[in-house]
Amino acid sequence: MTDAQRQEETDDTIVVECELEATPEKVWRALTVPEFVATWLDVPAADKVTADTTGPAYRIIEALPFSRVRYAWNDATVSEPETVVTFDLEAQPDGGTWFRLTHSVETARPIASPANSNSPPLMRAAA
- Rounded Cα distance between 45 and 111, Å, is 17
In 3-state terms, what secondary structure has residue 29? helix
C-beta separation of 4 from 10 below 8 A: no
With CA atoms as reference, report the closest residue to 104 among 4, 5, 1, 11: 11
- pTM for the predicted model, two decimal places: 0.70
Q: pLDDT tens digits, residue range 78-117? A: 777 788 999 999 999 999 999 999 999 876 555 454 555 5
H or E stretch including 73? strand 68-74
Q: pLDDT tens digits, residue range 34-56? A: 999 988 888 877 766 555 556 78
Length of the chain: 127
